[in-house]
Amino acid sequence: MEDPLIAYGVLVFSACLEGLALRAVLKEAKTFKPKGQNWLQFIKRSKSVNHIVLAMEDISALTGLSFAFIGITLSLITKNGIWDGFGTLAIGLLLVVVAFILFTEVKSLLIGEGADEATLNRIREEVDKVEIVESIVDLKTLWVGPAELFIAMKIVVDHDDTARLIAEAIDEVEARIRSAVPEAKLIYVEPDLYKSKQEQAEDDAELQELLENE
């Protein structure tokens, strides 16, 4: 190495740029990060793929620059270029680790992730408080954005309930869920009468036959 100052200059300049980029990402991420949640918890629980990927990329870049700095410094001190090679290998290993972490954290978001069990329990508790709702037949959830949860459910009502009562009950269900889970932006509630699995299967078969005959 003829002029180590050039290498150090490049590393310092790169670190400044990556530091500014990380600062911008964290500043933007604060608008999504719940109060009382640290950054590690945010990365593990956040539904914003962009913030997770950008934050991890900038953190890994700064860490990689540190490895390069240490490798060059040890090479200069020992007069042995092997340390620079070790620094390069450490950067490669770092990229593998970061790629694995990103894969683990965002794969479910990319293919579709529903609400966690605690959130599902809160939804069920709020629905159970609505007087004319007898039970929940089916409940599906899906994160469609960093702070936007889609909810679809089928509720059981009594066959004597009027359309007005059912409509008011659905409005109450939606209001209670939004109060308990602010991220719930899209809520679809379908009323139905209680049927056993066999009865439901028979009704589905009859309807299918009717449609085919048309």
pLDDT tens for each residue of 39-97: 777 777 666 777 778 888 888 999 999 999 999 999 989 888 899 899 999 999 999 99
26-35, 167-176, 196-205: which is most confident: 167-176
For the CA atoms of 206, 208, 213, 214, the dihedral, rounded to the nearest 10 degrees, stands at 120
Report how far apart, in Å, the C-alpha atoms of 5 and of each of 12, 17, 165 are: 10, 18, 78
d(CA 183, CA 147): 5
Neighbouring-strand partners of residue 143 = 149
Token duo for residue 164:
């007005």
Residue found under tokens 């529903």: 114
Contact assessment for residue 32 and residue 48, using Cβ atoms and an 8 Å cutoff: yes
Share of the chain above pLDDT 70, in %: 91
Query: In the prediction, which pLDDT does 11 show?
Result: 93
Provide Rg for the chain, Cα atoms. 27
In this prediction, residue 20 has a pLDDT band, given cuts at 50, 70 and 90, of very high
What mean pLDDT is predicted for residues 115-120? Answer: 86
Q: How far is CA 10 from CA 16, 19, 192, in A?
A: 10, 14, 67
Residue with tokens 């005959």: 213
Report how far residue 99's alpha carbon sits from residue 111's, in angstroms, rounded to the nearest whole number.
Answer: 17
CB 144 within 8 A of CB 186: yes
